[in-house]
Chains A and B, each alone.
Chain A
């Protein structure tokens, strides 16, 4: 198991400014051919000319992008542009759909993950996922968080207790639920449920967490909580988020990819992409002129 330290949630979050973001490692040019990766060690996921077909229709068309480690990368675009499909390629959730075929490659830490010999369950342990609609199991809060570790062979009561507390603190949920850990998770509010799903995802200590429109079913207050949480989590995890909400992308992400009709139109630093888009289509979309 990968050991990582999670910052306890009661520590005050560092103020986040544009300056602090610029102080980070420079991002790779994008879309970039694989051989030009100057900071190859900082690239965790590399999508290389990935095309995906649902039966005969093409959902993704030769997409290439590189997702840097411990950064938030956002996929934006209109409905049906393929951003969720692209996200679900990163942990092979598309396997569950019949008649899906891919071309190209996705590499995780430099290793291809699309081959048939990939241990999918191990991959999904290292690349976790949070869904659009919160989907807690019909179990207690404790059992929800402990589910992943248990599946992966953790049995000791005290070990599990520690993991549950750490994960719930990591998801800024501990103080709200510590007195009712053994009540049904379905009795929580929508925002709490979504943060529980995040806690559940980080309980197996993944390297990457994929978030598929995590706030689309939440009210603004709950959304703000989840956004704060993402900024907190990025210190330990790589986050990839799909969102409809361009303000959200600009608020939280370091890098943004704009997808349209299965093609990637533009990928760049978020500030750059929103302030000074290279492509006309991107500009039309982010200014709301897009039909």
Chain B
């Protein structure tokens, strides 16, 4: 239709046709956007599906091979491959990866089995999967439960008895943990205080009578604490003895025997006998354990709660530091500084700061915050603890401040844009009512620019939550189950080391002794980090939108 119309108006004959609305260009733009969307969705779907599959318990399959060997485990992969003997074959043979567990008995957690060697595949209903405190899972069959040499239960009865013992063990472990994290921790804390007090006496070097009096008080305290410590130690020993009182005799699919104290078993299931409903319950329980528990076995098992907590607390501290700093700096730049060459240079420098590699900030944080400020704080206030550093070593506070420096340009730029968007007319309206410049900024300009500031904070959070490199040198560690918040005054310990999801992914995926087993854990943790960042961003976006609605503009 367009061509006909153009002809009639008198487009010269033979002129190349024009593309009326840049149709091809629009298609190109749309295609680019579609590709970007595809990448994002693909990323979420891949990480999400791999990560969420980690918690699903597959059935245990029993393979009988041609040489009579028997393997029991979950099928984790199947692929075609080219073994040396398959040179002449038309169809390539397939092999199956089986998670056989039993790390303490066999050579490896996972084995590849050539499909041609499998004689029989069955799902034995009595195949048991035991989660253990050490050595990962156990796959096999329960024979009998005994207390010392006396058999408590045998055969099918042994399974029921074992389940009861595992439940009892859970309660005992909870008691133990409460003791260790509670009273024992208190005693250790007091003992440390006594040690520091003693050191203080040495440093103060008071006159002899004063010195004797203080040392005597400390010694008395020590005696009292030692008595308490022994009492607690007795109770824990009793609990441990009870945990290990009964032993379960197990046999693997290949016939190897293994005896295990029931206290070392965290959970016992028979996946082949479980329905979908029971497995779903197990799934939810495992997700919860993943979110709420401490890591075990050098991060390859257990949960990641300390890493979640560390990440959130660090980002929170960073936000507290970066918002006032960035907003005040932007206020000066935009509202007070004389706009000129100097301000332009400063602005360019601030923008460039956003492009500095993050590891450089980490090095700066180490030199300035940790060694500089932290070292000074230690020598001034924590002298008795030296040479062990308190603030003079990496900690969550220094990590948060380092990230605040890293993200402050983002906040400055976004706030400046927010300030610039407040119309001059509105400022004049305030000034014309007799308000001072400060009152105008405080009561009119800042509230109106608040959405801009929050945009800056959102970008800062998104960046900070994902940073790993600078944190590795200012306080992030592989394992720090002790949270920066605990029951000893002042409750929030900003000097503590902390765990971080980003580093946890790296650690689990590449530093772990059992890379194959932790691969799904990498995806699960990555998915969680993704969810966490999205959640924190959504919170900030909700706040921003509420602010925007309150100051909704009518467009008049």
Interface, chain A (partner B; CB < 8 A) = 91, 93, 96, 121-125, 128-129, 131, 133-139, 147-148, 150-152, 184, 186-190, 193, 197, 200-201, 204
User: What are 13 A-to-B residue pairs whose CB atoms are below 8 Å?
Assistant: A96-B431, A122-B434, A131-B428, A139-B447, A148-B434, A184-B550, A184-B552, A184-B554, A186-B551, A187-B554, A188-B554, A197-B429, A201-B432
- Taken together as a complex, chains A and B put the C-alpha atoms of A173 and B292 apart, in Å, by 59
- Taken together as a complex, chains A and B put the C-alpha atoms of A201 and B447 apart, in Å, by 21
Taking CB atoms, residues of chain A closer than 8 Å to B432 are 91, 93, 124, 128-129, 131, 201
B448 close to chain A: CB less than 8 A = yes
Inter-chain contact B443/A186, CB cutoff 8 Å: no
- From A125, A135, A136, A197, give the contact of B434 (CB < 8 A): A125
Inter-chain contact B430/A189, CB cutoff 8 Å: no
Taking CB atoms, residues of chain A closer than 8 Å to B433 are 124-125, 128, 147-148, 151, 200-201, 204
B556 close to chain A: CB less than 8 A = yes
Inter-chain contact B552/A186, CB cutoff 8 Å: yes
Taking CB atoms, residues of chain A closer than 8 Å to B4 are none
Taking CB atoms, residues of chain A closer than 8 Å to B443 are 147, 150-151
- Taken together as a complex, chains A and B put the C-alpha atoms of A131 and B556 apart, in Å, by 15
- Taken together as a complex, chains A and B put the C-alpha atoms of A194 and B443 apart, in Å, by 21
Taking CB atoms, residues of chain B closer than 8 Å to A204 are 433-434
- From A135, A147, A151, A189, give the contact of B425 (CB < 8 A): A135
Tell which of A128, A138, A139 has the most Cβ of chain B within 10 Å.
Answer: A138
Chain B min CB distance to A153 (Å)? 11
Inter-chain contact B436/A121, CB cutoff 8 Å: yes
Check A137/B426 contact, CB under 8 A, given A124-B431, A189-B556, A193-B556. yes
Contact with A along B73-93 (1 / 0, CB 8 A): 000000000000000000000
Inter-chain contact B434/A186, CB cutoff 8 Å: no
Tell which of B439, B444, B553, B556 has the most Cβ of chain A within 10 Å.
Answer: B556
- Taken together as a complex, chains A and B put the C-alpha atoms of A190 and B423 apart, in Å, by 16
Taking CB atoms, residues of chain B closer than 8 Å to A135 are 423, 425-426, 428-429
- Taken together as a complex, chains A and B put the C-alpha atoms of A123 and B554 apart, in Å, by 32
Taking CB atoms, residues of chain A closer than 8 Å to B426 are 135-138
Q: Nearest 5 A-B pairs (CB), nearest first?
A: A125-B434, A138-B551, A135-B425, A129-B432, A148-B433
**A138: nearest residue on chain B (CB-CB)?**
B551
Chain B min CB distance to A160 (Å)? 14
- From B435, B436, B553, B556, give the contact of A190 (CB < 8 A): B556
Inter-chain contact A151/B435, CB cutoff 8 Å: yes
- From A129, A134, A151, give the contact of B556 (CB < 8 A): A134
Chain B min CB distance to A247 (Å)? 24
Taking CB atoms, residues of chain A closer than 8 Å to B553 are 138, 186
- Taken together as a complex, chains A and B put the C-alpha atoms of A137 and B430 apart, in Å, by 8
Inter-chain contact A151/B434, CB cutoff 8 Å: yes
- Chain B stretch 406-461: residues in CB contact (< 8 A) with chain A: 423, 425-426, 428-436, 439, 443-444, 447-448
- Taken together as a complex, chains A and B put the C-alpha atoms of A139 and B443 apart, in Å, by 10
- Taken together as a complex, chains A and B put the C-alpha atoms of A65 and B428 apart, in Å, by 25
- Taken together as a complex, chains A and B put the C-alpha atoms of A123 and B433 apart, in Å, by 9
**A185: nearest residue on chain B (CB-CB)?**
B554
Taking CB atoms, residues of chain B closer than 8 Å to A148 are 433-435
- Taken together as a complex, chains A and B put the C-alpha atoms of A131 and B424 apart, in Å, by 12
Chain B min CB distance to A124 (Å)? 4
Taking CB atoms, residues of chain A closer than 8 Å to B428 are 93, 96, 131, 135
- Taken together as a complex, chains A and B put the C-alpha atoms of A93 and B429 apart, in Å, by 10
- Taken together as a complex, chains A and B put the C-alpha atoms of A96 and B426 apart, in Å, by 13
- Taken together as a complex, chains A and B put the C-alpha atoms of A198 and B395 apart, in Å, by 56
Taking CB atoms, residues of chain A closer than 8 Å to B444 are 137-139, 147
Taking CB atoms, residues of chain B closer than 8 Å to A189 are 556
Inter-chain contact A138/B447, CB cutoff 8 Å: yes
**A184: nearest residue on chain B (CB-CB)?**
B552
Check A200/B447 contact, CB under 8 A, given A151-B435, A151-B439, A188-B554. no
Chain A min CB distance to B152 (Å)? 73
**A121: nearest residue on chain B (CB-CB)?**
B434
Chain A min CB distance to B176 (Å)? 58
Chain B min CB distance to A213 (Å)? 13
- Taken together as a complex, chains A and B put the C-alpha atoms of A129 and B431 apart, in Å, by 10
Taking CB atoms, residues of chain B closer than 8 Å to A93 are 428, 431-432
Inter-chain contact B435/A137, CB cutoff 8 Å: no
Inter-chain contact A200/B429, CB cutoff 8 Å: yes
Taking CB atoms, residues of chain A closer than 8 Å to B429 are 131, 135-137, 197, 200
**B555: nearest residue on chain A (CB-CB)?**
A186
Taking CB atoms, residues of chain A closer than 8 Å to B448 are 137-138
Chain B min CB distance to A228 (Å)? 21
Taking CB atoms, residues of chain A closer than 8 Å to B434 are 121-125, 148, 151-152, 204
* 8 further A-B pairs in the complex, CB-CB below 8 A; given A151-B434, A184-B550: A96-B431, A131-B429, A138-B444, A148-B434, A148-B435, A186-B551, A201-B432, A201-B433
- Taken together as a complex, chains A and B put the C-alpha atoms of A160 and B436 apart, in Å, by 20
**B449: nearest residue on chain A (CB-CB)?**
A138
Inter-chain contact A184/B551, CB cutoff 8 Å: yes
Chain A min CB distance to B102 (Å)? 67
**A152: nearest residue on chain B (CB-CB)?**
B434
Taking CB atoms, residues of chain A closer than 8 Å to B431 are 93, 96, 124
Inter-chain contact A131/B425, CB cutoff 8 Å: yes
- Taken together as a complex, chains A and B put the C-alpha atoms of A17 and B457 apart, in Å, by 61
Chain B min CB distance to A223 (Å)? 15
- Taken together as a complex, chains A and B put the C-alpha atoms of A188 and B552 apart, in Å, by 11
Chain B min CB distance to A42 (Å)? 25
Chain A min CB distance to B415 (Å)? 16
- Taken together as a complex, chains A and B put the C-alpha atoms of A204 and B432 apart, in Å, by 11
- Taken together as a complex, chains A and B put the C-alpha atoms of A188 and B430 apart, in Å, by 19
Taking CB atoms, residues of chain B closer than 8 Å to A129 are 432
- From B430, B439, B554, give the contact of A186 (CB < 8 A): B554
- Taken together as a complex, chains A and B put the C-alpha atoms of A96 and B435 apart, in Å, by 13
- Taken together as a complex, chains A and B put the C-alpha atoms of A134 and B429 apart, in Å, by 9
- Taken together as a complex, chains A and B put the C-alpha atoms of A189 and B439 apart, in Å, by 27
Taking CB atoms, residues of chain B closer than 8 Å to A124 are 431-434
- Taken together as a complex, chains A and B put the C-alpha atoms of A139 and B430 apart, in Å, by 12
Chain B min CB distance to A152 (Å)? 6
